[in-house]
Amino acid sequence: MENSRDQEGQQRRQVAAAVARVVHSQVRKIKEEEDEKAKVHETYQQHQVAEMRLVLRDIGRQRSRSPLGRVGRPAISIGGDS
């Protein structure tokens, strides 16, 4: 009787360990998915930041200190070659 109780206890521990492994692998899978989502989000944010820098750089280049306007416009000819 004592022997059967020990075997039963051992079987319960084995079942509990097997269940714990299943739960653990599920938790591991969920964490891997979360890490993957975080990497995708981080990459997306880095892309947005890089794109914003390009836009701001282009805007900075277009601005002119001259009261005559933006650099992107054709030059105004004074006196001439007409």
- Tell me how far apart the alpha carbons of residues 48 and 39 are, in angstroms, rounded to a whole number: 14
- pLDDT at position 63 is 63
* Residue 57: predicted pLDDT: 84
pLDDT band at 79 (very low <50, low <70, confident <90, very high): confident
Q: Which residue has the tokens 């054709």?
A: 74
CA 24 – CA 32 distance, rounded (Å): 12
| 3-59 confidence digits (pLDDT tens) | 778 888 888 888 887 776 677 788 889 999 999 999 999 999 999 998 998 888 887
Tokens read off for 8:
């039963």
- The H or E element spanning position 21 is helix 2-62
In the structure encoding, which two tokens stand for residue 37, read together?
């989502």
Angstrom distances, CA of residue 41 to CA of 10, 34, 44, 45, 48 = 46, 10, 5, 6, 11
